[in-house]
């Protein structure tokens, strides 16, 4: 029989080894799934993990990885700060939508003015929009002790409805013949508010720049700043944190506000860049996927950057597998879900040691 | 700013050049790879399912000459552009994008791949010569549903679950109500906006709310069977219609008839034209006459005379002797829209943003 024995301290080795093990186990279990669907598992795994990087069309797909990873990283970094402090913002998807609507709204208010100030103003509006949306569960928690998990999640559906309203109503393109969707933010139609690729073929737009910069900033915050210390302390030892003078209310407002602002930024960069306009189906679940990315990256900013790329790989490669190998899209989603499942599963190795239990000895 | 523009254009040109070689000449082709982009899962039982049936029809019609590929549940937006680019890079000769929301992505990718043909369902933008659009005149089917609704309702309250307030849906609502009113001057219409194309829970809620208000005939513009499932709980008091697919499992009641999207004939025609070398850019909008809109079996839950009346209307539309929007019809505010005997021009329908006279409530703005 096997027995779990608590480690006196979390294992540093397993802290970094578990994500790799989880990816490996996902490949094995996913391979089994693909085999049961009648596909060659090696071919599918290769299509997902190898082809986007080194395959025939890598020149195009490599850039797409960054397009996909950018918003995931940006949102996940914000979430990870809260998660570390034990503050569970599950509603990043809603904050992402509100950031996009506010950012786009400010831009459209100036249409068709051309000024260098418009884009920075939109960035600010996007961050504030996401931040304000996250403040609702934060203030409700600090004032009335409501559960931020539920409130932030429920607000996603409210944001969804506002998005539908925006694209069919108050932000609708007046020249769009009554069809839903805002004016386009493409370079050709509204250059001042556009967020195009900065270097051709790389997929890098301002969102990617912010994502990478925030990764570094969050790393410095956690390692060098007193606030980072407080966040970590509040998560690991809430009582000790209180004695240390950490005000939980302040920390909740800060972490929720920061994660909301980053999610809002991600939405704003997406709507002005890759998505190109506010539409009914603008959001595609980055806010939820970012939760997986945050944990896959060990809630460590640099880990999250890496995890964002791995997740993007499963998206881009998964699409290729779906099209070229005829795999149902649900199989790809199961594959992505397995990643979080195995990660949480093998996480036990960080805090516990597996011992062979000898009968009679306890 | 200019520099950024130039660089993006250069990237686009790079992709177009790297493709080069022109697999697509004007002449006939031996083989065609036809690709389909779906907005939902094939198993949705409605919109996407019907498009996939059309894709399978193509395969059946041409056998080894055609290879089909598809991808389900592609989000409308940035992801669509990547999927389309992957397909074009992967050698697809013709790509059908089967949802309105793919409009910008389709046109953007089409501009980069002039040798690949793009067919966009329900859209109106054809920015480059290789983009065609196609749609079906679903409002013709709504006319028949409206006639049945007007005849069958006992409470004189009929309902319509709208997806989004866009011309396509407003057109359906107007046609449905117009034909109900024609046979039953006392009929009142309730519209509920679900703001979704496919969400069984929301659709069920909408149906439930209407049934509680006394509505006993429900038409829906959303794709799931949930409204029919709600109606089925009423022991025959409430009826509805199959939407997008036949939804035959709810026969004979509450599903008394259905509007079936039948894309097969169009898909076969277009891929066939590509094989023969007669392919041209089109803006197709066929209805009952062209076989794109099928009216499902009218069940015995409908009295024989009503059934005969509905079938006569179907046949008149098919023969081209009756247009569902034939004047006199006024707009909601009482101002005239169509004069006596005048039929609606397609342009009015495609941009329809108003209710006709007699409908209460406003189109959400």
When mean pLDDT is compared across A168-177, B122-131, B264-273, B326-335, the lowest value belongs to: A168-177
Q: B352 touching A, CB under 8 A?
A: yes
Cα of B299 to nearest chain A Cα, Å: 35
Q: Is residue B266 part of a domain?
A: no
When scoring A61, A166, A178 by the number of chain B Cβ atoms within 10 A, the one with the most, hence best to mutate, is A178
Residue A292's closest CA among A230, A232, A335?
Answer: A335
Query: To the nearest whole angstrom, how far is the Cα of A244 from the nearest Cα of chain B?
Result: 47
Among residues B111, B136, B161, the one where a domain terminates is B136
Question: pLDDT tens across B119-178, in order?
Answer: 999 888 899 999 999 999 999 999 999 999 999 999 999 999 998 888 889 999 999 999
Cross-strand bridge partners of residue B34: B68, B94
pLDDT band at B24 (very low <50, low <70, confident <90, very high): very low
Quick one: CA torsion of A122, A109, B354, B321, rounded to 10 degrees?
Answer: -70
How far is residue A231 from each of residues A248, A298, A299, measured CA to CA in Å?
10, 15, 12
Question: Domain spans of chain A?
Answer: 40-326
CA–CA separation, A180 and B365 (whole Å):
10
Please indicate, yes or no, whether residues B210 and B319 belong to a single structural domain of this protein: yes
Which residues in chain A (304-343) have CB-CB distances under 8 A to chain B?
A: 316, 319-320, 322-324, 326, 328-330
In a domain, B282, yes or no: no
Which of B112, B136, B160 represents a domain boundary (last residue)? B136
Q: Best interface-test mutation with B: which of A119, A203, A267, A281 has the largest number of B CBs within 10 A?
A: A281
Average pLDDT of span A330-345: 87
Could you give the percent of chain B with pLDDT greater than 70? 93
Residue B91 forms contact with A (CB below 8 Å):
no
**CA B160 from centroid of its chain's CA atoms:** 16
Q: Look at residue B8 in the predicted model and tell me its pLDDT.
A: 39
Task: Determine the distance in angstroms separating the CA of B210 from the nearest CA of chain A, rounded to an integer.
Answer: 20
Give me the number of domains chain B comprises: 2
**Pairwise CB contact (< 8 Å): B72 & A329:** yes
Residue A289: closest CA among A255, A315, A322 = A315
Q: What gap in Å lies between CA B323 and CA A61, rounded to an integer?
A: 49
- Which residue bears the tokens 């920015």? B127
- pLDDT band for A276, please (50, 70, 90 cuts): confident
The gap from C-alpha A294 to its chain's centroid, in whole angstroms, comes to 7
Label the pairing between strands B329-330 and B336-338: antiparallel
Based on the domain organization, do B60 and B160 belong to the same domain?
Answer: no
Residues B213 and B337 in one domain: yes
Considering the domain architecture, whether residues B169 and B112 belong to the same structural domain is answered as no
Please say whether the beta carbons of B149 and B176 come within 8 A.
yes
pLDDT digits (tens, 9 = 90+) for A247-268: 888 899 999 999 999 999 999 9
Q: Please, which residues have CB within 8 angstroms of residue B7's CB and are 6 or more apart in sequence? A: A197, A199, A200
Interchain contact, A187 vs B350, CB within 8 Å? no
Instruction: Cis check for the bond before B254: say yes or no (omega within 30 of 0).
Output: yes
ipTM, two decimals: 0.77
Chain A environment of B78 (Cβ under 8 Å): 67, 270, 273-276
- Based on the fold, state whether residues B252 and B131 are members of the same structural domain: no
B193 and B310 in a single domain? The answer is: yes
| Same domain for B240 and B115 | no
Instruction: Tell which residue, B112, B72, B70, has the closest CA to residue B95.
Output: B70
A309 CB-near residues (< 8 Å, 6+ apart): A65, A69
Q: CA torsion, points A162, A167, A173, A179, in degrees to nearest 10?
A: -150
Cα dist. B216→B190, B201, B219 in Å?
11, 20, 10
Residue B154 and residue B214 in contact, taking contact as beta carbons nearer than 8 Å: no
- Portion 192-211 of B in contact with A at CB < 8 A: 195
CB distance B104–A282 less than 8 Å? no
A259 Cα to chain B: minimum distance (Å):
23
Question: Do B144 and B97 share a structural domain?
Answer: no
Alpha helices (H) along B263-330: 264-276, 304-319
CB B364 within 8 A of CB B179: no
Last residue of a domain, one of B80, B106, B136: B136
Q: Do B79 and A201 touch (CB under 8 A)?
A: no
What rounded mean pLDDT belongs to chain A?
89
Residue of B nearest to A58 (CA): B86
| Residue among B115, B72, B144, B79 nearest B316 (CA) | B144
Band of residue A243 on the pLDDT scale cut at 50, 70, 90: confident
**Residue from B37, B67, B78, B121 whose CB has the most chain A CBs within 10 Å, to mutate:** B78
Determine the structural domain holding residue B65 and report its residue range. Answer: 28-136
User: Do B248 and B334 fall into the same domain?
Assistant: yes
- Angstrom distances, CA of residue A183 to CA of A10, A105, A111, B26, B175: 52, 10, 9, 36, 30
pTM for this predicted structure: 0.81
State the pLDDT confidence band at A358, using cuts at 50, 70 and 90: low
The verdict on residue B2 lying in a domain is no
pLDDT of residue B18: 38
CA A225 distance to own-chain centroid: 24
Structure confidence at residue B218 (pLDDT):
96
Q: What architecture (CATH level 2) is domain A40-326?
A: Orthogonal Bundle (1.10)
Position A178 scores a pLDDT of 67
**pLDDT per position as a tens digit, A277-326:** 898 888 888 999 999 899 888 899 999 999 999 999 989 998 888 888 88
- Whether residue A177 has pLDDT greater than 80: no
Taking alpha carbons only, the member of A185, A176, A281, A110 closest to residue B79 is: A281
Same structural domain, B183 and B297: yes
Whether residue B5 is contained in a domain is answered as: no
- Give the tokens for residue A208: 């990617």
Phi and psi at residue B121, to the nearest 5°: -80, 135
Residue range A85-95: average pLDDT?
Answer: 94
User: Residue B309 belongs to a domain with what CATH number?
Assistant: 3.40.50.2300
Of A56, A198, A319, the CB nearest to B83: A319
Name the residue in chain B with its Cα closest to that of A189: B5
pLDDT tens profile A64-77 = 899 999 999 999 99
Among chain B residues, CA nearest to A199: B7
**Cross-chain Cβ contact B83/A323 below 8 Å:** yes
B180 in the same domain as B129: no
Is some CB atom of chain A closer than 8 A to the CB atom of B15? yes
Res B5 pLDDT > 90: no
Does A64 lie at the interface with B, CB-CB under 8 angstroms?
Answer: yes
List pLDDT tens digits, range B309-322. Answer: 999 999 999 999 99
Q: Tell me which DSSP letter residue B303 carries.
A: -
Which residue in B4, B74, B195 is closest to A196 by CB distance?
B4
Instruction: Specify whether the backbone of B79 is left (phi greater than 0), alpha (psi in -120 to 50) or beta.
Output: alpha
pLDDT score of B17 more than 50: no
């Amino acid at each position: 029989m096997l027995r779990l024995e608590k480690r006196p301290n979390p294992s540093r080795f397993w802290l970094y080894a578990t994500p790799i093990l989880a990816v490996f186990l996902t490949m094995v279990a996913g391979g089994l799934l693909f085999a049961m669907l009648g596909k060659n598992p090696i071919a599918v795994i290769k299509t997902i993990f190898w082809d986007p990087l080194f395959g025939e069309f890598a020149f195009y797909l490599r850039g797409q990885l960054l397009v996909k990873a950018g918003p995931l990283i940006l949102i996940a970094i914000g979430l990870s700060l809260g998660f570390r402090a034990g503050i569970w913002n599950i509603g990043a998807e809603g904050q992402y939508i509100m950031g996009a609507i506010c950012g786009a709204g400010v831009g459209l208010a100036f249409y068709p003015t051309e000024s260098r100030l418009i884009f920075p103003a939109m960035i600010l509006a996007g961050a504030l929009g996401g931040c304000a949306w996250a403040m609702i569960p934060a203030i409700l928690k600090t004032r009335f002790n409501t559960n931020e998990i539920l409130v932030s999640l429920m607000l996603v559906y409210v944001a969804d409805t506002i998005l539908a309203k925006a694209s069919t109503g108050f932000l609708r393109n007046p020249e769009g013949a009554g069809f839903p969707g805002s004016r386009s933010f493409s370079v050709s139609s509204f250059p001042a508010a556009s967020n195009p690729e900065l270097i051709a073929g790389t997929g890098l737009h301002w969102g990617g720049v912010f994502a990478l910069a925030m990764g570094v900033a969050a790393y410095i915050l956690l390692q060098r700043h007193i606030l980072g210390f407080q966040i970590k302390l509040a998560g690991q030892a809430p009582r000790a944190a209180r004695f240390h003078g950490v005000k939980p209310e302040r920390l909740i407002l800060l972490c929720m506000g920061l994660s909301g602002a980053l999610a809002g930024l991600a939405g704003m960069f997406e709507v002005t860049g890759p998505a190109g306009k506010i539409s009914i189906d603008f959001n595609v679940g980055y806010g939820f996927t970012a939760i997986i990315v945050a944990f896959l990256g060990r809630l460590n900013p640099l880990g999250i950057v890496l995890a964002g790329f791995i997740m993007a790989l499963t998206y881009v490669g998964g699409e290729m597998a779906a099209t070229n190998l005829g795999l149902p899209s649900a199989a790809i989603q199961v594959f992505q879900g397995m990643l979080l499942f195995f990660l949480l599963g093998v996480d036990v190795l960080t805090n516990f040691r597996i011992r062979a239990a000898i009968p009679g000895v306890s | 700013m200019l520099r950024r523009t130039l660089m993006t254009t250069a990237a686009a040109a790079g992709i177009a050049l790297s493709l080069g070689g022109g697999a697509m000449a004007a002449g006939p082709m031996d083989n065609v790879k036809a690709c389909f982009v779906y907005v939902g899962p094939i198993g949705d039982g409605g919109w996407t399912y019907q498009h996939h049936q059309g894709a399978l029809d193509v395969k059946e019609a041409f056998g080894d000459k055609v290879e089909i590929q598809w991808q389900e549940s592609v989000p409308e937006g940035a992801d669509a552009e990547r999927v389309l680019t992957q397909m074009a890079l992967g050698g697809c000769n013709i790509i059908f994008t089967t949802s309105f929301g793919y409009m910008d992505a389709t046109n953007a990718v089409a501009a980069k791949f002039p040798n690949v043909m793009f067919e966009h369902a329900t859209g109106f933008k054809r920015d480059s010569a290789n983009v065609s659009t196609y749609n079906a005149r679903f409002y013709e089917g709504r006319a028949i549903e409206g006639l049945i609704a007007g005849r069958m309702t006992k409470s004189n309250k009929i309902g319509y679950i709208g997806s989004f307030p866009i011309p396509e849906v407003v057109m359906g609502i107007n046609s449905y109500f117009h034909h109900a009113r024609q046979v039953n001057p006392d009929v009142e219409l309730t519209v509920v906006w679900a703001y979704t194309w496919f969400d069984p829970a929301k659709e069920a809620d909408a149906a439930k709310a209407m049934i509680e208000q006394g509505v006993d005939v429900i038409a829906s513009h959303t794709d799931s069977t949930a409204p029919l499932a709600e109606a089925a709980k009423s022991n025959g008091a409430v009826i509805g219609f199959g939407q997008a697919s036949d939804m035959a499992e709810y026969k004979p009641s509450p599903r008394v008839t259905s509007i079936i999207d039948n894309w097969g004939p169009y898909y076969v025609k277009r891929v066939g034209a590509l094989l023969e070398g007669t392919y041209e850019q089109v803006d197709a909008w066929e209805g009952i006459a062209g076989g794109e809109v099928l009216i499902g079996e009218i069940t015995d839950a409908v009295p024989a005379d009503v059934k005969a009346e509905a079938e006569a209307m179907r046949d008149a539309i098919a023969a081209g002797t009756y247009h569902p929007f034939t004047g006199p019809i006024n707009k909601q505010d009482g101002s005239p829209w169509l004069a006596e005997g005048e039929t609606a021009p397609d342009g009015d329908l495609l941009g329809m943003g108003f209710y006709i006279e007699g409908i209460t409530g406003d189109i959400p703005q």
